[in-house]
Amino acid sequence: MKKFLIVGLGNIGEKYTNTRHNIGFQIVDALAKEHEAKFETDKLGDVTRFRFKGRTFVLLKPSTFMNLSGKAVKYWMDKEKVALENVLIITDDVNIDFGAIRFKAKGSAGGHNGMKDIEAKLSTQKYARFRFGVGGNYPKGRQVDFVLGEWNKDEESQLIERIPTSVKAVLSFGTDGLANTMNNFNGK
């Protein structure tokens, strides 16, 4: 039986709930809801599990705040005995158009502090990541305000479609593999 660790990055706390930076939390929340899995607070994060097509999906929302996510990822990989190739990190990306999906097998952190910390704690850039485009429609020097800002009405209405597509893409990662998921979902 295969086991997958799906990590949605975000910041804990009510004030961050509907922000662009928390799209990782939003996607794993939708995935848990679809599979009637309930999150429980545990060490370094909120965790839940469900089975789908003979695979176990462990969902994690780190409670370490975005920029310190690596500690939670490493802890839960070790605790659940999940191989690095079965880990998927879901995060926002300002360099991708809003709503676009991009899976990659490896790469740099791209200026994302949460990804930098994961890279440091895992001692590698070779882990699967799912970047959800939040767009880069912000004035120069205002990136932090933008990603910590709430979705606008137009974005919210489009998320109604984009989040279910993202959920399908995550399940595909576990059932069809990274290469097929990249072929079927990247750019969609």
pLDDT, position 110: 75
> Sheet containing 87-93: which strands, arranged edge to edge?
40-42, 45-52, 55-62, 2-8, 87-93, 128-133, 101-104
pLDDT, position 10: 93
pLDDT, position 1: 63
The verdict on whether residue 127 carries a ligand-binding annotation is no
Give the Å distances, CA to CA, from 53 to 143, 154, 166.
Answer: 40, 35, 18
| DSSP H/E element including 109 | none
The verdict on whether residue 22 carries a ligand-binding annotation is no
pLDDT, position 188: 78
pTM for this one? 0.95
Ordered domains of the chain (ranges, CATH): 2-185 (3.40.50.1470)
Please list the active-site residues.
21
Q: Amino acid identity, residue 70?
A: G
Task: For the chain of 188 residues, list the mean pLDDT of each consecutive stretch of 10.
Answer: 93 92 96 98 97 97 91 97 97 93 90 88 95 90 90 94 97 97 92
The verdict on whether residue 25 carries a ligand-binding annotation is no
Q: Which residues pair with 102 in a beta bridge?
A: 131
